[in-house]
């Protein structure tokens, strides 16, 4: 549920005063995070969604810590380009921005982004704050009138130096127009030294440090006074006292962060200064790291505590952009994982959330494609996270009657949890979100290794008295992982809590405490959270040829069971063509719509494979996980009910014709040859 101010705050067009900030501690400074407000010249894609996710994860983490954070996103709507685009579309400008702005809100809501305010620069509050800040800076002597003669890039809404013109175009490759106007100027040149002093005294104010160095270089080249108004075209915020002009869109747009606090009215200090401005790198150096702090200095207002610029999602043909036709919409990815992987909607949303944060380009740029997302999905969400939960719960049902045992927790894994929490905190404080998620994932991987090392199935066979301790430890780490992964994949973590039959873990201080997993808790049955994408789909994605829909299950044709006839004699070389190996079952789930098929994920040496076996009638998933089996390793892959099977599990028949799985008489190394 989004906590918002009134309709005027959200939609930006209703009359009336804004309500006060809803905070349980009326004057306590709240942790305030912002995305840039998105320019309404095109619909959102995953590049926009990335910055929303950065703020959302940071907000959810702060809530885990017990804080009361506040999160702003919204749209920038006052540019000349917006009016031109509306005219070309044959729309009224306000109707045009209403329509495009809504697509950004829909994108945020789709991805379960928990913003507190969706702010629009066409709101009465923004107009009021922008004009008040303009007047304040002018009264302080930093705004003056002069004549502007020079080039203007309408597409980028940017004034361009003569020295930056290349082949008649701006540095961004856009057409430029010569402008001669009487305008108002901001004395940016006065803030060269104050900005450099600020950067030097606070090394982590601008992040990452590589981009901070770009800012320093830009400032040292010399800052010039800049034109901050344009002739009034009938769209934009009029200059106070001079309605023949409107405030330049970048000067106007940056003020939104302050306007959304209620400034200049009382109570704005509850939010300001912003704790973190998040954005992509292209608007960092010139605007958020130079112009905006200079404006605040000129107005004698506090500066944001941190300004962080992430890199781009890129492809072989460069940056994601609508003109290149390589844009990926978040809605498209969510739909894909619902249809192709069979995820529930909220879990398909979590797949996209995870992919954005794990692909997060903090310093450089990052490849982002459907294949990259699928690779993260199968390797991290299915193999690591899903496998750990499924194994823990299945073995608890198999070896501990489905309850949390009253046994000590292994100190080795308590230490692993504490290390993961420490690493996570360091990364979050440094805004390295992918690394923070990675720290939580490392804990999951440590759990999987712990299970492999302890081999609960062997402990059960040997009646090892330490087995209850191992089972409780496995569940304990699953519970800790639920808490740590919650800021990134909240729906999946809710599913974990439901399977553990516990309330969601929502306090950082509770993670890794014995109270978080009460002894005697009756566990629910394990249910796979993230179904695996099969090998064929992965290959198609890798080749850029994603199938339009999930391969449909082939309707089985019922046949009379034929009496088994022993095959004719074979020669020894024929037998040697069959490669039999020992495998261990690491995941098991029934095939939906089938009375007898079970889908297994098995480990054969260092390799993982998917095998479909007709053993559902006699084996439950929890009976299979951890068990060693014998498989035909070199059998050509085949499809059963549309699911690829990459081998065959060997079984005998009992008196009723039901399967009895073959397994080694004692534990054998996984991948061992059977001969």
Specify whether the CB–CB gap between 270 and 29 falls below 8 A: yes
Q: What is residue 178's predicted lDDT score, i.e. its pLDDT?
A: 86
Overall domain count for the chain: 3
Beta bridge partners of 183: 146
Rounded CA separation 121/254 (Å): 10
Q: In terms of domains, do 50 and 176 share one?
A: yes
CA–CA distances in Å: residue 249 to residues 87, 147, 256: 18, 18, 11
Whether residue 581 sits in one domain with residue 510? no
Cα separation, 59 vs 51, in Å, equals: 12
- End-to-end CA, the chain: 61
Instruction: Select from 393, 391, 313 the least CA-distant residue to 352.
Output: 313
The whole-number pLDDT of residue 14 equals: 33
Give the pair of three-digit tokens for residue 139. 């009264």
Domain CATH for 206? 3.40.50.620
Q: Tokens standing for 509?
A: 């201080």
Task: Give every residue of the chain whose pLDDT is below 70, as ranges.
Answer: 1-27, 315-327, 545-567, 622, 655-656
Quick one: DSSP state of residue 510?
G
137-143, long-range: CB < 8 A, 24+ apart: 137/186, 137/295, 137/298, 137/299, 138/184, 140/298, 140/299, 140/300, 141/187, 142/186, 142/187, 142/190, 142/298, 143/184, 143/185, 143/186, 143/187, 143/228
**Position 194 in a domain:** yes
Whether 510 and 483 have beta carbons less than 8 Å apart is answered as: yes
pLDDT tens for 489-506 read 999 999 999 999 999 999
Query: How big is the chain, counted in residues?
Result: 675
36 with 178, same domain?
yes
pTM of the model: 0.81
Provide the CATH number for the domain around residue 371.
1.10.730.10
Same domain flag for 505 and 580: no
Picking from 474, 422, 421, the residue whose alpha carbon sits closest to that of residue 446 is: 474
CB burial string 122-157: b at 16+ within 10 A, e below: bbbbbbbbbbbbbbbbbeeebbeeeebebbbbbebb
pLDDT of residue 319: 52
> Could you give the 3-state DSSP secondary structure of residue 659?
strand
3-class SS string, 299-353: CCCCCCCCEEEECCEEECCEECCCCCCCCCCHHHHHHHHHHCCCCCHHHHHHHHH
The CA distance from 96 to 306, in Å, is: 34
100 and 172 in a single domain? The answer is yes
In a domain, 553, yes or no: no
Tokens 């005998």 sit on residue: 652
| Residue 504 structure tokens | 């969601």
Residue 501, judged by CB atoms within 10 A of its CB (0-12, 13-18, 19+), counts as middle
Among candidate residues 498, 516, 534, the one where a domain is terminated: 516
User: Do 496 and 577 lie in a common domain?
Assistant: no
CATH code of residue 651? 2.40.50.140
Does residue 260 share a domain with residue 165? yes
In 3D space, the residue among 16, 272, 36 whose CA is nearest the CA of residue 124 turns out to be 16
If asked whether residues 305 and 384 sit together in one domain, one would say no
- What b/e sequence results for 89-112 when a residue is b if at least 16 CB atoms lie within 10 Å of its CB, and e otherwise? eeeebeebbbebbebbbebbebbb
Whole-number Å distance between alpha carbons of 109 and 354: 16
- Give yes or no for a contact between 636 and 560, defined as CB atoms under 8 angstroms apart: no
Q: Which domain holds residue 593?
A: 572-674
**To 5 degrees, how large is the angle CA 415–CA 416–CA 418?**
65
Q: Is residue 536 part of a domain?
A: no
Same domain, 310 and 370: no
* Among candidate residues 292, 296, 361, 319, the one with its CA nearest the CA of residue 37: 292
Tokens of 391: 């194994």
Among 501, 516, 531, where does a domain finish?
516
Residues 457 and 580 in one domain: no
For residues 544 and 411, what is the distance between their CA atoms, to the nearest angstrom?
46
For residue 603, being part of any structural domain is answered with yes
Query: Quick check: 553 and 641 in contact, CB under 8 A?
Result: yes
Q: Are strands 242-247 and 276-280 parallel, antiparallel or unpaired?
A: unpaired
The answer to whether the beta carbons of residues 382 and 530 sit under 8 Å apart is: yes
162 DSSP assignment:
G
Residue 544: inside a domain: no
With respect to residue 12, please indicate whether it lies within any of the assigned structural domains.
Answer: no
Residue 208, preceding peptide bond in cis (omega within 30° of 0): yes
Residue 111 maps to a domain: yes
Rounded Cα distance, 537 and 535, in Å: 5
Cα 125 to Cα 94, 102, 162, 604: the distances in Å are 16, 19, 37, 63
Dist. CA 175–CA 157, nearest whole Å: 11
- Give the span between the Cα atoms of 9 and 260, in whole angstroms: 8
What span, in angstroms and rounded, lies between the C-alpha atoms of 625 and 618? 14
- Beta-bridged to residue 367, according to DSSP, are 314
Residue pair 311/364 in contact (Cβ under 8 Å)? The answer is: yes
Distance, CA of 158 to CA of 155 (rounded, Å): 8
CA 474 to chain centre: 26
Query: Is the domain of 123 the same as that of 218?
Result: yes
Do 307 and 371 share a domain, yes or no?
no
Which of the listed residues 292, 315, 338 is the one where a domain comes to its end? Answer: 315
Q: What is the Cα–Cα distance from 670 to 675, expressed in whole angstroms?
A: 15
328 in any annotated domain: no
> Which residues neighbour 403 within 8 Å (Cβ) at sequence distance 6 or greater?
396, 520, 521, 522, 523
């Amino acid at each position: 549920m989004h906590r918002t101010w009134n309709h005027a705050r959200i939609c930006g067009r209703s009359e009336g005063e804004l309500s006060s900030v809803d905070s349980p501690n009326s004057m306590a400074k709240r942790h305030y995070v912002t995305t840039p407000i998105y320019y309404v010249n095109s619909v959102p894609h995953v590049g926009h969604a990335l910055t929303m996710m950065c703020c959302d994860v940071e907000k959810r983490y702060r809530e885990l810590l017990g804080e009361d954070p506040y999160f702003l996103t919204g749209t920038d709507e006052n540019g000349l380009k917006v009016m031109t685009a509306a005219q070309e579309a044959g729309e009224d400008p306000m109707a045009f921005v209403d329509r495009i702005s809504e697509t950004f809100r829909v994108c945020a809501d789709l991805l379960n982004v928990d913003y507190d305010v969706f702010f629009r620069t066409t709101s009465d509050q923004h107009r009021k704050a922008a004009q008040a800040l303009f007047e304040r800076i002018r009264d302080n002597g930093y705004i003056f009138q002069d004549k502007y003669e020079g080039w203007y890039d309408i597409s980028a809404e940017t004034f361009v130096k003569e020295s930056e013109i290349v082949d008649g175009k701006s540095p961004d490759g856009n057409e430029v127009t010569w402008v001669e106007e009487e305008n108002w100027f901001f004395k940016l040149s006065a803030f060269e030294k104050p900005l450099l002093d600020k950067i030097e005294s606070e090394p982590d104010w601008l992040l990452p440090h590589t981009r901070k160095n770009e800012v320093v270089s830009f400032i040292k080249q010399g800052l010039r006074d800049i034109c901050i108004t344009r002739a009034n075209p009938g769209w934009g915020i009029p200059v106070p006292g001079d309605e023949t002009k409107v405030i330049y869109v970048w000067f106007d747009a940056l003020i939104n962060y302050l306007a959304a606090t209620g400034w200049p009215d009382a109570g704005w200090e509850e939010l300001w200064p912003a704790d973190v401005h998040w954005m992509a790198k292209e608007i960092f150096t010139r605007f958020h790291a130079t112009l905006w702090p200079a404006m605040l200095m000129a107005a004698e207002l506090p500066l944001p505590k941190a300004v962080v610029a992430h890199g781009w999602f890129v492809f072989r043909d460069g940056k994601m952009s609508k003109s290149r036709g390589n844009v990926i919409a978040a809605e498209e990815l969510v739909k894909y994982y619902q249809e192709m992987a069979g995820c529930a909607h909220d879990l398909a949303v979590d797949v996209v959330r995870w992919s954005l944060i794990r692909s997060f380009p903090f310093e450089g740029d990052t490849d982002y494609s459907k294949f990259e997302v699928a690779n993260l999905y199968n390797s991290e969400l299915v193999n690591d996270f899903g496998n750990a939960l499924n194994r823990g719960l299945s073995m608890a049902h198999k070896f501990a009657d489905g309850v949390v045992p009253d046994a000590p927790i292994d100190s080795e894994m308590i230490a692993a949890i504490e290390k993961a929490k420490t690493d996570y905190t360091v990364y979050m404080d440094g805004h390295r979100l992918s690394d923070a998620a990675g720290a939580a994932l490392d804990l999951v991987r440590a759990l999987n290794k712990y299970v492999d090392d302890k081999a609960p199935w062997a402990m059960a066979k040997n009646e090892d008295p330490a087995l209850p301790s191992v089972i409780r430890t496995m569940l304990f780490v699953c519970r800790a992982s639920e808490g740590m992964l919650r800021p990134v994949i909240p729906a999946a973590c809710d599913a974990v809590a439901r399977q553990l039959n516990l309330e969601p873990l929502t306090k950082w201080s509770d993670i890794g405490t014995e109270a978080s997993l009460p002894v005697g808790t009756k566990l629910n049955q394990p249910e796979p959270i993230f179904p695996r994408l099969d090998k064929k789909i992965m290959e198609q994605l890798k080749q850029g040829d994603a199938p339009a829909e999930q391969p449909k299950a082939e309707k089985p044709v019922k046949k009379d069971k034929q009496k088994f006839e022993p095959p004719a004699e074979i020669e020894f070389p024929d037998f040697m063509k069959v490669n039999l190996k020992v495998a261990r079952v690491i995941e098991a789930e029934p095939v939906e719509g089938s009375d007898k098929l079970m889908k297994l994920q098995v480990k054969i040496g260092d390799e993982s494979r998917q095998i479909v076996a007709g053993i559902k009638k006699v084996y439950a998933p929890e009976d299979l996980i951890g068990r060693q089996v014998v498989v035909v390793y070199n059998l050509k892959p085949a499809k059963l009910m549309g699911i690829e099977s990459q081998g065959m599990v060997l079984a005998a028949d009992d008196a009723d014709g039901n399967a009895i799985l073959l397994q080694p008489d004692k534990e054998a190394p996984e991948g061992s040859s059977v001969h």
